[in-house]
Amino acid sequence: MIDIIRGMTQLFFEYGAMGSGKTIEILKVAHNYESQGKKVLLMTPAVDDRAGIGVISSRIGLKREAIAIHKTDNLFTDVSRVDGELAAVLIDEAQFLEPFQVDQLADVVDKLNIPVMTFGLRQDAFNHLFPGSKRLFEIADKLEEMKTICTFCGKKAITQLRVVDGKPQYQGSQVFIGGDETYIPVCRKHWKNPDLKKLKEFFPANKKVSKQ
């Protein structure tokens, strides 16, 4: 969990593989601020519409409404227009941000003196950085990894494996929105060589997924 030092205004990026608890963490941070009577702005990219556009939803059923971020939105302008004093800006699925939007979030920190906490994946299912995550790694003040374990061996998971009809996928669109039925956290070894028998057990054929 990211430690917020009183009076410290920074751009944070908390990242981890699928299933590491990032969404639960952002909802917990929001609750902690609000329980102290402080106002936060929750935002999430519109591309992730699994629970509906503008909804932050965890796999255990916790959810909150949020401002939907579209690809052309100016986040500095959006934050500037919020009424009342903001204690923090919290952004889920930050990997889907455009790089210029990450720069705008840095301006929110530097010019508006509001801490910005972003949560998301480091890399895609092909082990390449998302553009939004890459920019956050380049300019964020503080980076923190949330850890989870490999589905197959229990070692630290560093990425996620995309699975369709029980088969691993190593090519296709970078953004392929599904849920637990389409991605599993894995270590590097099992990303390269997953247990195909277990995959078929975990993911029976003909499950429907949504593609973006």
Residue 140 known to bind ligand: no
Residue 20 known to bind ligand: yes
Q: What is the pTM of this model?
A: 0.86
Which ranges of the chain have pLDDT less than 70? 1-7, 48-52, 59-61, 176-181, 205-212
pLDDT per position as a tens digit, 129-152: 999 999 999 999 999 999 999 999
Q: Would residue 93 show up in a list of annotated catalytic residues for this protein?
A: yes
User: Pick the catalytic residue: 93, 144, 145, 201?
Assistant: 93
Long-range contacts from 46-52, C-beta under 8 angstroms, 24+ separation:
46/70, 47/71, 47/93, 47/96, 47/175, 47/177, 47/212, 48/92, 48/93, 48/96, 48/177, 49/177, 49/210, 49/212, 50/177, 50/178, 50/179, 50/210
Residue 171 known to bind ligand: no
pLDDT recorded at residue 180: 45
All domains of the chain in start order, with CATH: 11-146 (3.40.50.300), 159-202 (no CATH)
